[in-house]
Amino acid sequence: MAKVAFLGLGVMGYPMAGHLQAAGYDVTVYNRTASKAEAWVDQHGGAMAATPKEAATGADFVMACVGNDDDLRSVCTGESGAFHGMTAGATFVDHTTVSAKVTRELYEAAQAKGLGFVDAPISGGQAGAENAVLSIMCGGDQPVFDAAEPVMQVYSKICRRIGESGAGQMTKMCNQIAIAGLVQGLSEALHFAEKAGLDGRAVVEVISQGAAGSWQMANRYETMLDDHFDHGFAVDWMRKDLGICLDTADETGASLPVTALVDQFYKDVQKLGGGRWDTSSLIKRLRALG
């Protein structure tokens, strides 16, 4: 089996790397907080490295799932970045949600070193990572994607190349744009039901079977009704992603009025102290308004 390095062991990366080790890959992990890497090795075996460069040395594939553009640049081209340890012919797969701009920048840097680079942002949340049913949207050269796809299939239910470098990140932006509107609509529907004195669970049982049904409704309505928001994808990260969407919309000329509005609603949630709440916490803002 191929040798794989995995950089970033957050709520997504930790189980993803574990699936690779369980599938028989020779996995070396790196995490900025070393104690997380130590815990992963204790649980899954494999090895840990002190730097991205060390983890990537000799690896056939280097997977990353970090925080933002600057974090990704650091683990790729920083002083101890993975690109300095990778050998020509190896492939870097980025699962971080970042801008298409930094993706294309790093794609070119990889090309200059004879490395493959696939932008492969993920959707499905923590549960998707833990259950190996993520949706992965990819951009990059077809032969490089073809080589990396079997590795990504270990923790995905669908893994598809959309187009050239940056196409994966652009597709993830579409995903976040769609989610923002869906969550706000669901929040308003449940808030309306509460104000009208209706049984929210009964309402969802009926409307979820029709045109209003969605993944967000099926997986989040109960916790929203119960005022529980300590799971899933955090508001702080959603605002980061929506900022990328809005900046890119300015560059491409796309109009995103609903996305811009929901981004400001998430800003209100942050002001309520909900930066680490799940994105379904938009209903908290409506309840706070009375």
**151 by DSSP, 3-state: which?**
helix
| Six token digits for residue 248 | 């890119």
Lowest mean pLDDT among 22-36, 72-86, 225-239: 225-239
CA distance linking residue 209 with residue 220, whole number of Å:
15
Give the residue among 237, 221, 224 at the shortest CA–CA distance from 97: 237
pLDDT class for 249, splitting at 50, 70, 90?
A: very high
Amino acid letter for position 22: A
| Domain ranges within the chain, ordered by starting residue | 3-164, 170-289
Amino acid letter for position 153: Q
Give the number of other Cβ atoms within 10 Å of residue 53's Cβ: 20
The residues that are catalytic are 172
The answer to whether 3-164 and 170-289 have equal CATH topology is no
In the prediction, which pLDDT does 124 show?
92
In the prediction, which pLDDT does 43 show?
98
pLDDT class for 26, splitting at 50, 70, 90?
A: very high
Per-residue pLDDT tens digits for 160-188: 999 999 999 999 999 999 999 999 999 99
**96 by DSSP, 3-state: which?**
coil
CA distance linking residue 63 with residue 103, whole number of Å:
14
Amino acid letter for position 12: M
What does the pLDDT average to over 28-48? 98
In the prediction, which pLDDT does 231 show?
81
Instruction: Tell me if the pTM is above 0.85.
Output: yes
3-164: CATH topology is: Rossmann fold (3.40.50)
CA distance linking residue 249 with residue 203, whole number of Å:
36
* β-bridge partners, 119: 94, 139
Over the range 9-43, which residues count as b (16 or more CB within 10 Å of their CB) and which as e?
bbbbbbbbbbbbbebebbbbbbbbeeebbeebbee
In the prediction, which pLDDT does 237 show?
95
Per-residue pLDDT tens digits for 66-93: 999 999 999 999 999 999 999 999 999 9
Architecture of domain 170-289: Orthogonal Bundle (1.10)
